[in-house]
Amino acid sequence: MQIVAAIVAAGLAISAVITPAVDGKVVHPDATTSTTRGSTADSDLNADVSKRNADAAADYARKQADFQKAQTDYQQAQKDYQTRLAQTRDAAQKYERDKAAWAAKVAACKAGDTSQCAP
Protein backbone atom coordinates (compact mmCIF):
# COMPACT_ATOMS: atom_id res chain seq x y z
CA MET A 1 0.00 0.00 0.00
CA GLN A 2 2.88 2.29 0.74
CA ILE A 3 4.21 1.72 -2.76
CA VAL A 4 0.90 2.80 -4.29
CA ALA A 5 0.82 5.87 -2.09
CA ALA A 6 4.37 6.71 -3.10
CA ILE A 7 3.55 6.33 -6.79
CA VAL A 8 0.46 8.51 -6.48
CA ALA A 9 2.38 11.12 -4.52
CA ALA A 10 5.18 11.06 -7.09
CA GLY A 11 2.66 11.41 -9.89
CA LEU A 12 1.02 14.39 -8.22
CA ALA A 13 4.36 16.01 -7.61
CA ILE A 14 5.41 15.54 -11.24
CA SER A 15 2.09 16.82 -12.57
CA ALA A 16 2.29 19.84 -10.29
CA VAL A 17 5.72 20.64 -11.69
CA ILE A 18 4.69 20.33 -15.36
CA THR A 19 1.14 21.64 -15.08
CA PRO A 20 1.00 25.33 -15.98
CA ALA A 21 -1.02 27.79 -14.00
CA VAL A 22 -3.07 30.52 -15.64
CA ASP A 23 -4.18 33.31 -13.32
CA GLY A 24 -3.35 31.11 -10.34
CA LYS A 25 -5.57 28.25 -11.57
CA VAL A 26 -4.06 24.94 -12.59
CA VAL A 27 -4.73 24.20 -16.26
CA HIS A 28 -4.12 20.93 -17.98
CA PRO A 29 -1.28 21.28 -20.54
CA ASP A 30 -3.37 19.86 -23.37
CA ALA A 31 -6.12 22.36 -22.68
CA THR A 32 -3.76 25.30 -23.15
CA THR A 33 -2.16 23.85 -26.24
CA SER A 34 -5.39 22.69 -27.79
CA THR A 35 -7.02 26.04 -27.11
CA THR A 36 -4.19 27.81 -28.84
CA ARG A 37 -4.12 25.30 -31.65
CA GLY A 38 -7.88 25.12 -31.66
CA SER A 39 -8.35 28.82 -32.05
CA THR A 40 -6.01 28.85 -35.05
CA ALA A 41 -7.70 25.78 -36.46
CA ASP A 42 -11.12 27.25 -35.72
CA SER A 43 -10.09 30.49 -37.33
CA ASP A 44 -8.84 28.63 -40.41
CA LEU A 45 -11.98 26.54 -40.50
CA ASN A 46 -14.20 29.59 -40.07
CA ALA A 47 -12.33 31.38 -42.84
CA ASP A 48 -12.71 28.35 -45.11
CA VAL A 49 -16.43 28.02 -44.32
CA SER A 50 -16.95 31.76 -44.84
CA LYS A 51 -15.14 31.61 -48.19
CA ARG A 52 -17.18 28.61 -49.30
CA ASN A 53 -20.39 30.33 -48.20
CA ALA A 54 -19.42 33.49 -50.08
CA ASP A 55 -18.54 31.43 -53.16
CA ALA A 56 -21.85 29.58 -52.94
CA ALA A 57 -23.77 32.83 -52.52
CA ALA A 58 -21.97 34.36 -55.51
CA ASP A 59 -22.62 31.24 -57.58
CA TYR A 60 -26.29 31.30 -56.58
CA ALA A 61 -26.59 35.00 -57.48
CA ARG A 62 -24.89 34.36 -60.83
CA LYS A 63 -27.24 31.45 -61.56
CA GLN A 64 -30.25 33.54 -60.52
CA ALA A 65 -29.14 36.32 -62.88
CA ASP A 66 -28.61 33.80 -65.68
CA PHE A 67 -32.05 32.34 -65.03
CA GLN A 68 -33.70 35.77 -65.03
CA LYS A 69 -31.94 36.62 -68.31
CA ALA A 70 -33.09 33.31 -69.80
CA GLN A 71 -36.65 34.05 -68.66
CA THR A 72 -36.52 37.55 -70.17
CA ASP A 73 -35.05 36.20 -73.42
CA TYR A 74 -37.75 33.52 -73.56
CA GLN A 75 -40.54 36.03 -73.01
CA GLN A 76 -39.09 38.29 -75.71
CA ALA A 77 -38.84 35.32 -78.09
CA GLN A 78 -42.48 34.50 -77.37
CA LYS A 79 -43.51 38.10 -78.14
CA ASP A 80 -41.44 38.07 -81.34
CA TYR A 81 -43.03 34.77 -82.36
CA GLN A 82 -46.54 36.09 -81.71
CA THR A 83 -45.75 39.21 -83.74
CA ARG A 84 -44.40 37.16 -86.68
CA LEU A 85 -47.38 34.81 -86.44
CA ALA A 86 -49.81 37.74 -86.61
CA GLN A 87 -47.88 39.18 -89.59
CA THR A 88 -48.02 35.80 -91.34
CA ARG A 89 -51.77 35.54 -90.72
CA ASP A 90 -52.27 39.08 -92.02
CA ALA A 91 -50.21 38.28 -95.14
CA ALA A 92 -52.18 35.05 -95.71
CA GLN A 93 -55.49 36.90 -95.39
CA LYS A 94 -54.33 39.60 -97.80
CA TYR A 95 -53.20 36.93 -100.24
CA GLU A 96 -56.64 35.26 -100.08
CA ARG A 97 -58.40 38.63 -100.62
CA ASP A 98 -56.12 39.49 -103.56
CA LYS A 99 -56.61 36.02 -105.06
CA ALA A 100 -60.39 36.32 -104.71
CA ALA A 101 -60.32 39.79 -106.36
CA TRP A 102 -58.16 38.43 -109.20
CA ALA A 103 -60.48 35.44 -109.71
CA ALA A 104 -63.45 37.84 -109.84
CA LYS A 105 -61.72 39.97 -112.52
CA VAL A 106 -60.85 36.89 -114.57
CA ALA A 107 -64.45 35.69 -114.33
CA ALA A 108 -65.73 39.18 -115.36
CA CYS A 109 -63.28 39.29 -118.27
CA LYS A 110 -64.41 35.84 -119.46
CA ALA A 111 -68.00 36.97 -119.15
CA GLY A 112 -67.28 39.80 -121.60
CA ASP A 113 -66.46 42.75 -119.33
CA THR A 114 -63.30 43.94 -121.10
CA SER A 115 -62.65 46.61 -118.43
CA GLN A 116 -61.67 43.80 -116.07
CA CYS A 117 -59.24 42.19 -118.54
CA ALA A 118 -55.50 42.73 -118.19
CA PRO A 119 -53.98 45.15 -120.74
What average pLDDT is seen over the chain? 81
Q: How far apart are CA 61 and CA 98, in angstroms?
A: 55
The residue among 102, 95, 96, 99 whose CA lies nearest residue 117 is: 102
Average pLDDT for 38-48: 84
Q: What span, in angstroms and rounded, lies between the C-alpha atoms of 118 and 106? A: 9
Beta-strand pair 25-26/21-22: antiparallel
pLDDT, position 35: 47
Cα-based angle 102, 106, 107 (whole degrees, multiple of 5): 115
pTM value > 0.95: no
pLDDT at 40: 82
Calculate mean pLDDT across residues 56-66. 97
Higher pLDDT, 10 or 84: 84
Per-residue confidence band for 116, with pLDDT thresholds at 50, 70 and 90? confident
